[in-house]
């Protein structure tokens, strides 16, 4: 396994805050023709006789490598499936989809999504069914931008689609989804479940101060005629967290509970962490996720001293944001932000090789740059040259950034989906070179533009962020830097964002 590095930016952290997403009434970008049935293969799908299947059957095969962007994978994506399951939770996403998390009796989960009819092209053979499924869901629930619990038996019919893994809530191991949902019925009688068990932690989210511990109860429930000892384990523990069970085994027939103690090292930084609680026995296994929100133990004195050292005093809002370096984008995927200058932001490399020789493209977005030519000159001097010392610890030939402009057709408030659409149009219009594996796009927003991620507003909630998506021409890795009247701070923000992207080319947790 190739050695992977991590970079620690020495800034202070205090607390963790979770945010809700704001609905933008937009449509998605990634594999959108497949998700809505406007691709050339959708017309060949037989929608008259849905094929019964199960969650476990759909999530078992490996995802195709690579996942095609505008064609279907047969037979998984060319079949109309029907599944009986439990609707666990749901929300309205920024791309206008209803995001449903469904589960089977063994605790396996996957995602099902109902697009907005306004985002479905008229040529889609799914259009009428999507509109009807959306109306049936609206008659039963009122989705909002926050997840709502349901625990309702459902029967879902729809076409499967492999999505890219980017930290979605409830995602299957292979990224399979029912997308789009073409029909949904509530309170159906599920088929008799197979013999096995389910496992759950209560509470499923723990709050910890670094250097301390907390307990949660891990319980198992039997399905069918299962009878066996169940061994408990914890996997995927982040460095700095430890977990122990008492007892470590739940005796046959297997229904019972154990106390799980989670401890955080004193040096563990503020942040949101998660790991998996699993049980195995009698030829069956089940797992559940546990979230841990950690607050650092930095004293107020040391915090204010560090604040003065960088020439700024935190506002109450920044105190809430400090330590928060990850959030969710408009497609329920993890995204990494630069929240404030006072944050301890750890950048761990996950998936994809570190970009030691990036090709940087600077894009000055918006007409407001005409009145800020001096600022543009200053920002144009920030390049990816810092990578050789900061990330790869090796020298590489320096390539000056390629500079582009986009001044027309830009909304004043840019959500992340609008940023992706903007990049798509620039690539399609040959304003940008076709993306390569080493390409890094840095979008500097003019003073009259704002960036938003759900309810989070640039300048108030974050200074910059980086993300990536899959365009038809390849993966697009990009950084968004809203304008900051303090140009010295904006230069530092840009450097931090570039550093995070080079070390995490495929995202902070993907």
So what's the pLDDT on residue 312? 36
**22 within a domain of the structure (yes/no):** no
Question: The domain spanning residue 243 has which CATH number?
Answer: 2.60.40.10
So what's the pLDDT on residue 496? 83
Question: The domain spanning residue 179 has which CATH number?
Answer: 2.40.50.140
Question: Which of 186, 204, 223 corresponds to the end of one domain?
Answer: 186
Residues 387 and 326 in one domain: yes
Strands 326-328 and 334-338: antiparallel
Q: Choose among 10, 20, 17, 11: nearest CA to 321.
A: 17
Ranges assigned E (strand) in 339-429? 345-348, 359-365, 402-406, 413-415
Residues 50 and 153 in one domain: yes
**510 within a domain of the structure (yes/no):** no
Q: How many residues does the chain have?
A: 510
Query: Would you state the structure tokens that stand for residue 386, as one six-digit string?
Result: 């810092």
Q: Where are the alpha helices (DSSP H) in 242-332?
A: 300-309, 316-321
* 10-residue stretch averages of pLDDT, the chain, 510 residues long: 32 26 64 95 94 92 89 95 93 93 90 96 96 94 88 93 88 94 81 73 79 89 89 90 95 94 86 82 83 60 32 37 56 78 46 73 87 75 57 63 86 91 91 88 92 86 89 88 90 85 66
**24 within a domain of the structure (yes/no):** no
**509 within a domain of the structure (yes/no):** no
Q: Choose among 218, 220, 222: nearest CA to 196.
A: 222
Distance CA(305)–CA(303), nearest Å, equals: 5
For residue 245, how far is the Cα from the chain centroid? 30
So what's the pLDDT on residue 83? 95
Residues 163 and 242 in one domain: no
Q: Choose among 331, 316, 303: nearest CA to 461.
A: 316
- Owning domain of residue 68: 32-186
Residues 388 and 450 in one domain: yes
**174 within a domain of the structure (yes/no):** yes
**148 within a domain of the structure (yes/no):** yes
Question: Which of 258, 273, 295 corresponds to the end of one domain?
Answer: 295
Q: Choose among 108, 32, 97: nearest CA to 70.
A: 32
Contact 126/44 with Cβ under 8 angstroms? no
The count of structural domains within the chain is 3
Residues 261 and 316 in one domain: no
* CA–CA distances in Å: residue 161 to residues 35, 49, 311: 7, 18, 50
So what's the pLDDT on residue 298? 43
Residues 174 and 216 in one domain: no
Distance CA(440)–CA(476), nearest Å, equals: 8
Query: Would you state the structure tokens that stand for residue 138, as one six-digit string?
Result: 């609206």
Q: What is the spatial order of strands in the sheet that 334-338 belongs to?
A: 326-328, 334-338, 464-471, 474-481, 439-445, 359-365, 402-406
What dihedral angle (degrees, nearest 10) is formed by the CA atoms of 149, 146, 317, 466?
A: 120
Contact 438/355 with Cβ under 8 angstroms? yes
> Tokens 């299947």 map to which residue?
53
Residues 125 and 165 in one domain: yes
Q: Choose among 121, 100, 94, 135: nearest CA to 32.
A: 121
Distance CA(259)–CA(247), nearest Å, equals: 7
Residues 356 and 485 in one domain: yes
Residues 163 and 308 in one domain: no
**80 within a domain of the structure (yes/no):** yes
Distance CA(178)–CA(182), nearest Å, equals: 9
Contact 346/37 with Cβ under 8 angstroms? no
**268 within a domain of the structure (yes/no):** yes
**H or E stretch covering 135:** helix 127-140
Among positive and negative, which fits the CA dihedral 218, 205, 338, 300?
Answer: negative
Residues 439 and 392 in one domain: yes
Residues 311 and 351 in one domain: yes
So what's the pLDDT on residue 433? 86
Distance CA(116)–CA(468), nearest Å, equals: 23
Question: Which of 234, 265, 295 corresponds to the end of one domain?
Answer: 295
Residues 207 and 142 in one domain: no
């Amino acid at each position: 396994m190739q050695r992977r590095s991590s970079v620690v930016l020495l800034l202070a952290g205090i607390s963790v805050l979770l945010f809700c997403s704001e609905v933008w009434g937009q449509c998605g970008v990634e594999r959108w023709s497949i998700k809505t049935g406007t691709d050339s293969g959708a017309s060949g799908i037989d929608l008259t006789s849905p094929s019964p299947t199960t969650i476990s059957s759909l999530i078992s095969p490996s995802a195709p490598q690579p996942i095609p962007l505008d064609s279907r994978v047969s037979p998984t994506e060319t079949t109309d499936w029907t599944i009986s399951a439990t609707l666990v939770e749901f929300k309205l996403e920024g791309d206008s989809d209803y995001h449903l998390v469904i589960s089977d009796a063994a605790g396996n989960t996957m995602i099902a999504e109902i697009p907005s009819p306004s985002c479905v092209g008229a040529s889609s053979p799914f259009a009428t069914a999507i509109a009807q499924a959306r109306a049936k869901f609206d008659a039963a629930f009122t989705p909002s931008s926050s997840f709502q619990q349901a625990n309702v038996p459902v029967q879902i019919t729809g076409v499967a689609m492999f999505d890219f893994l980017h930290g979605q809530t409830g995602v299957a191991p292979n990224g399979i989804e029912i997308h789009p949902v073409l029909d949904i019925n509530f309170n159906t009688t599920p088929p008799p479940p197979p013999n096995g068990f389910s496992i759950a932690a209560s509470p499923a989210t723990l709050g910890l101060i670094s250097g301390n511990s907390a307990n949660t109860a891990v319980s198992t429930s039997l399905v069918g005629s299962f009878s066996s000892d169940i061994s408990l384990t914890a996997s995927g523990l982040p460095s700095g967290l430890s977990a122990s069970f008492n007892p470590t085994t739940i005796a046959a027939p297997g229904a019972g509970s154990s106390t799980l103690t989670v401890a955080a090292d004193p040096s563990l930084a503020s942040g949101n962490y998660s790991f998996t609680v699993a049980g195995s026995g009698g030829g069956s296994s089940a797992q559940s996720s546990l979230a841990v929100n950690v607050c650092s133990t930095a004293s107020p004195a040391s915090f204010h001293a560090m604040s003065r050292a960088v020439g700024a005093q935190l506002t109450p809002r920044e105190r809430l944001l400090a330590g928060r370096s990850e959030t969710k984008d408009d497609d329920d995927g993890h995204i990494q932000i630069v929240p404030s200058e006072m944050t301890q932001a750890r950048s761990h490399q996950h998936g994809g090789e570190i970009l030691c020789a990036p090709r940087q493209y600077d894009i000055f977005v918006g007409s407001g740059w005409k009145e800020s030519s001096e600022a543009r000159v200053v920002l144009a001097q920030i390049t990816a040259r810092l990578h050789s010392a900061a990330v790869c610890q090796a020298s590489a030939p320096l390539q000056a950034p390629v500079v582009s402009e986009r001044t027309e057709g830009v909304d004043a408030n840019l959500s992340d989906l609008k940023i992706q659409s903007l990049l798509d149009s620039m690539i399609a219009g040959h304003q940008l070179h076709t993306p390569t594996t080493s390409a890094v796009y840095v979008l500097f927003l003019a003073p009259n533009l704002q960036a938003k991620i759900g309810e989070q507003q640039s300048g108030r909630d974050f200074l910059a962020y980086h993300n990536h998506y899959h365009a038809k021409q390849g993966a697009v890795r990009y950084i968004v830097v809203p304008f900051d009247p303090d140009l010295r701070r904006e230069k530092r923000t840009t450097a931090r964002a570039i550093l995070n992207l080079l070390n995490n080319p495929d995202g902070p947790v993907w």
